[in-house]
Chain A
């Protein structure tokens, strides 16, 4: 531990080990809230002992053994039903006699399933979306309540309460700690993917607010996605989501200019894209495609993102393919926002008139009333058709509607150039 404090090492070990620790404990005690408390107790023990004794060779196994001792103590005290108690005692005894490496292996045997169960539990539909997000970041992302609060620009007490309530809800609803099977799996997986993508977008679309913390949310979501891809490799949509996030994340440093102003996709300096992430994204997309079957919504969006990623210049973009992918996406998950994106692609592939036809059909959609991107897109298409007066009016409307001052500047700049 020379040149490195024990506290730093414990922090790092906790971040690496906490999810599987909580997952392993939850399998044994059957309650995520109790499992987290036990894991925290073990962490406190580590904080007390490791600075003196040094970090043990297998810190994960040490934490697990310590937490299990406490679990037994607690269960005895609570006189919980005999069966569970006995089971836990037996499991611990077996591991007590086994030498260290076997102990570690015994934990590793279950770890994949345990982690997956933990993800599915944290994203259980019985919880509100906010609660799912907070619990997932806390239990699987290894974030502290403070970090979650900062990331979501919410008071710490709010997040704390949200997590406590979520754990109570799970216990009250007797949500089993398991990976759902059969028909339920697909539906529950959807909720998991939604939570991960929501975390990603919270970081990705934030050009306002605390710039420093929010990109970290993209990283958290990416890691969660990658974990899922390792744990559920047969699920095409998991790879689709990972591909989508990797490719989107590859553009992060290119999508904001030196003054903090947003730079739109087609105007970005592609040399500043992160090609390491693009490579990973394309590989994840290939994995999704290799699994066969119809493309799901995440895979479709990833395939669209990949069209941009593969184009060395904006002019090389395969807009015809993008239109086809948006057609498929609009069929699978019809929404006015998808339709608007499809209109942009149509305009690029087949000329502004083709795009405008679709956009015009959207102007009466109440879901898009007040959505600044509608007049923004319409203004662009009108300008390309040489209908400058109408274009100016649309861009002015878009500028008035947007909540983001940077985006407003960009729109007004466009307007001024017409």
Chain B
């Protein structure tokens, strides 16, 4: 089963320290060595992004930054694990890596990726 974990945080312009980057890199390597890491990455500031919306049948596109947003998506990882438990455990490890190295609160959504329920692999 594939799970996408979506990391949400306040956008303050703070950059992760080299120590944090190294820790997260090591964790990614550990997950790769366990065969579960399908992909991971960080997202560039919302200033470089845009939002496209469908409202009442009308499409609007707004360039970033998303100043009104309390939280933005900062990164993601996709794990291939036997069940939700393991996805949660990797996420716990990920959050643990931030303790003392990242000043803000973090929230990670752990979401199963849809496969055909009858024959997904």
Question: Hey, which bits of chain A sit against chain B, CB under 8 A?
Answer: 4, 8-9, 11-13, 15-16, 19, 57, 111-112, 115, 142, 203, 211, 215-216, 218-219, 222-227, 230-231, 249, 252-253, 255-256, 258, 260, 276, 280
Contacts and interface: CB of A to CB of B under 8 A. Distances in A.
A222 B33 CA distance: 12
A16 B36 CA distance: 10
A276 B88 contact: no
B89 interface: yes
A112 B33 CA distance: 8
A231 B90 CA distance: 20
A223 B119 contact: no
B94 to A, nearest CB: 13
B42 to A, nearest CB: 18
Given A203-B121, A219-B1, A276-B38, A253 B82 contact: no
Nearest to A55: B92
Interface residues of B, number: 28
Given A57-B96, A219-B1, A256-B119, A227 B35 contact: yes
Contacts of B81: 15
A256 B118 contact: yes
Which residue of B33, B35, B36, B118 has the most chain A CB atoms within 10 A of its CB atom?
Answer: B35
B115 interface: yes
Contact of B119 (A11, A57, A215, A231): A215
Contacts of B116: 253
B39 interface: yes
B78 interface: yes
Contacts of B43: none
Nearest to A230: B33
B15 interface: no
Contacts of A215: 119-121
A259 B119 CA distance: 11
B34 interface: yes
Given A115-B33, A219-B82, 9 more contacts: A9-B88, A12-B86, A211-B118, A215-B120, A216-B82, A219-B121, A227-B34, A255-B119, A256-B118
Nearest to A214: B121
A16 B34 contact: yes
B86 A15 contact: yes
A246 B82 CA distance: 17
9 contacts: A9-B85, A12-B86, A16-B89, A16-B90, A111-B33, A226-B35, A253-B120, A260-B118, A276-B39
Contacts of A203: 121
A4 B92 CA distance: 12
B32 A226 contact: yes
A206 to B, nearest CB: 11
B33 A231 contact: yes
Contacts of B78: 276
Main secondary structure of the interface of B (DSSP, over half): mixed
A260 B37 CA distance: 30
B89 A13 contact: yes
A231 B29 CA distance: 11
Given A12-B86, A13-B89, A276-B78, A218 B34 contact: no
A15 B86 CA distance: 8
Contacts of A211: 118-119
A227 B80 contact: no
Contacts of B29: 230
B118 A4 contact: no
A287 to B, nearest CB: 13
Contacts of A219: 1, 80, 82, 121
A80 B98 CA distance: 44
B119 A12 contact: no
A258 B119 CA distance: 9
A324 B29 CA distance: 37
B34 A252 contact: no
Given A215-B120, A223-B36, A227-B34, A9 B80 contact: no
B121 A249 contact: yes
A367 B82 CA distance: 38
Which residue of B29, B85, B90, B120 has the most chain A CB atoms within 10 A of its CB atom?
Answer: B85
